[in-house]
Structure 1
Amino acid sequence: MREYARLWRELIALCLRRYPGSTVFLIGWHVVSTVMFAAVGLTLRALVEATQAGTVTAIGVAALGAALVLTLNLGVEHIAYLRTIHLVERISLTEVEPRILRACAELPQVRHLEDPEFLDRVTTLRGQSGAVVDWAWAVLQAVSATIGLLVALAVLGGVNPWLLALLPCAAVQLAMERLGRKKIAEEDLASAEDLRLHRELYDDICVNPAALKELRVYGAAAQAIKLQAEAWERVTRSRARAALIAAGWSSAGWLVFGGGFTLAIFLVTAAGRPGDIILAVSMGVQFRNVVEHALHRSMQVGGYRRLLGPYLWLMEYARTHRDPADAAPPARLRRGIELRNVSFTYPGTTKPVLEDLSVHLPAGAVVAVVGEYGSGKTTLVKLLAKMYAPDSGSILVDDVELSALDTAGWRASMSAAFQDFGRYCTTFEDSVMMGARGDLNSTVRDADAEALVSRLPDGPATELGRRFGGIELSEGQWQKVALARSGARPRPLLFVLDEPTASLDAPSEHAIFTRYARRSRELAALNGAISVIVSHRFSTVADADLILVMAAGKLVESGRHDELLTRNGMYADLYGIHAAAHA
Structure 2
Amino acid sequence: MRRYWSLWRELFTLSWRRQRRHTAATLTAIALSTLAVPVCAVALRRAVDAIDGGHTSTAVMAAAVAALAYAVSLVLQDTAGLLRATTNDRLGRLELHPRIHRDISRVHGLEHLERTDFLDRMTIVRLGTGHVTMSLWNMVLAVSNVLKLVLAVLLLGTVTPWLGLLLVFAALPVWLDHVGQRRVRRVEVETSEDHRLHRRLAELAVSASAGKELRVSGTAEDVIRRQTTAWYAAMGPRARAQFVAGALKLVGWLVFIAAFVGALALITHRTVHGHGTVGDVVLAVTVAMSLRQTVASTVMSTTSTASARRVLDPYLWMREYTEREATRDQGEQTPPAALTDGISVENVSYAYPGTDRLALDGVSVTLPAGAVVAVVGEYGSGKTTLVKLLQKFYQTDSGRITVDGIDLSRLDTERWRDRSSAVFQDFGRFRTTFAETVGLGDLRHVNDRERIQRALGEVEADDLVRRLPNGLDTQLGRELGGLDLSEGQWQRTALARAAMRTDPLLFVLDEPTASLDAPSEQNIFEQHMARARHLGQRTGAITLIVSHRFSTVAGADHILVLDKGRLVESGTHEDLLALRGQYADLYRLQADAYAESAPATTEEEDA
Pairwise TM-score range, normalised by the shorter structure? over 0.9
Number of aligned pairs?
582
Is 1:199 aligned to 2:199, yes or no? yes
Could you tell me which residue of structure 2 aligns to residue 424 of structure 1? 430
Is 1:511 aligned to 2:523, yes or no? yes
TM-superposed deviation, 1:393: 0.5
Q: Secondary structure, in 3 states, of the residue corresponding to 2:507?
A: strand
1:216-365 to 2 correspondences below 5 Å = 216-272=215-271, 273-324=277-328, 325-365=331-371
- Distance in 1 (CA, whole Å) between partners of 2:502 and 2:232 is 52
Could you tell me which residue of structure 1 aligns to residue 128 of structure 2? 128
Could you tell me which residue of structure 1 aligns to residue 383 of structure 2? 377
Could you tell me which residue of structure 2 aligns to residue 393 of structure 1? 399
TM-superposed deviation, 1:33: 4.6
Could you tell me which residue of structure 2 aligns to residue 54 of structure 1? 54
TM-superposed deviation, 1:113: 1.3
- Distance in 2 (CA, whole Å) between partners of 1:306 and 1:576 is 58
1:180 is aligned with what amino acid? Answer: G
TM-superposed deviation, 1:128: 1.1
- Distance in 1 (CA, whole Å) between partners of 2:151 and 2:398 is 65
Encode CA deviations 1:28-53: one digit per residue, 9 max, x unaligned.
Answer: 55455544321110011111122223
- Distance in 2 (CA, whole Å) between partners of 1:522 and 1:209 is 42
TM-superposed deviation, 1:270: 2.6
Encode CA deviations 1:160-208: one digit per residue, 9 max, x unaligned.
Answer: 22321211111112111111211211221122111101011111x2122
- Distance in 1 (CA, whole Å) between partners of 2:270 and 2:591 is 106
- For the 8 Å contact 2:33–2:72, the answer to whether it is kept is no
Could you tell me which residue of structure 2 aligns to residue 413 of structure 1? 419
Normalised to the residue count of structure 1, the TM-score between the two structures is 0.95
- Distance in 1 (CA, whole Å) between partners of 2:565 and 2:288 is 76
Could you tell me which residue of structure 2 aligns to residue 552 of structure 1? 564
Could you tell me which residue of structure 1 aligns to residue 506 of structure 2? 494
2:241 is aligned with what amino acid? Answer: A
- For the 8 Å contact 1:368–1:533, the answer to whether it is kept is yes
- For the 8 Å contact 1:124–1:310, the answer to whether it is kept is yes
- Distance in 1 (CA, whole Å) between partners of 2:76 and 2:82 is 10
TM-superposed deviation, 1:551: 2.0
- Distance in 1 (CA, whole Å) between partners of 2:570 and 2:290 is 84
Could you tell me which residue of structure 1 aligns to residue 586 of structure 2? 574
Distance 1:25 1:213, change over 3 A: closer
CA RMSD in angstroms comes to: 1.9
- Distance in 2 (CA, whole Å) between partners of 1:22 and 1:510 is 60
Q: Secondary structure, in 3 states, of the residue corresponding to 2:402?
A: strand
- For the 8 Å contact 2:345–2:401, the answer to whether it is kept is yes
Q: Secondary structure, in 3 states, of the residue corresponding to 2:332?
A: coil
TM-superposed deviation, 1:77: 5.4
TM-superposed deviation, 1:117: 1.0
Q: Secondary structure, in 3 states, of the residue corresponding to 1:492?
A: coil
1:94-133 to 2 correspondences below 5 Å = 94-133=94-133
Distance 1:216 1:77, change over 3 A: closer
Of 529, 547, 558, which aligns to 1:535? 547
Question: In terms of mean alpha carbon deviation, does 270-279 or 375-384 score higher?
Answer: 270-279
Q: Secondary structure, in 3 states, of the residue corresponding to 1:374?
A: coil
Identify unmatched segments of 5+ residues in structure 2: 272-276, 596-607
Q: Secondary structure, in 3 states, of the residue corresponding to 1:526?
A: helix
- For the 8 Å contact 1:33–1:148, the answer to whether it is kept is no
Of 360, 368, 373, which aligns to 1:367? 373
- For the 8 Å contact 1:43–1:65, the answer to whether it is kept is yes
- Distance in 2 (CA, whole Å) between partners of 1:423 and 1:552 is 30
Could you tell me which residue of structure 2 aligns to residue 475 of structure 1? 487
2:240 is aligned with what amino acid? Answer: R
- Distance in 2 (CA, whole Å) between partners of 1:75 and 1:222 is 53
Is 1:23 aligned to 2:27, yes or no? no
- For the 8 Å contact 1:163–1:265, the answer to whether it is kept is no
Encode CA deviations 1:246-273: one digit per residue, 9 max, x unaligned.
Answer: 1111111111111111111121123233
- For the 8 Å contact 1:323–1:407, the answer to whether it is kept is no
Normalised to the residue count of structure 2, the TM-score between the two structures is 0.92
Question: In terms of mean alpha carbon deviation, does 545-554 or 194-203 score higher?
Answer: 545-554
TM-superposed deviation, 1:396: 0.5
Encode CA deviations 1:70-93: one digit per residue, 9 max, x unaligned.
Answer: 233333554333222122111111
2:232 is aligned with what amino acid? Answer: E
Encode CA deviations 1:413-437: one digit per residue, 9 max, x unaligned.
Answer: 2111101112223322222222522
- Distance in 2 (CA, whole Å) between partners of 1:190 and 1:498 is 37
- Distance in 2 (CA, whole Å) between partners of 1:423 and 1:408 is 22
- Distance in 2 (CA, whole Å) between partners of 1:254 and 1:528 is 76
- Distance in 2 (CA, whole Å) between partners of 1:253 and 1:181 is 14
1:315 is aligned with what amino acid? Answer: R
- Distance in 2 (CA, whole Å) between partners of 1:397 and 1:544 is 21
Question: In terms of mean alpha carbon deviation, does 68-77 or 439-448 score higher?
Answer: 68-77
Encode CA deviations 1:460-488: one digit per residue, 9 max, x unaligned.
Answer: 22233333343332222221121111112
Could you tell me which residue of structure 1 aligns to residue 86 of structure 2? 86
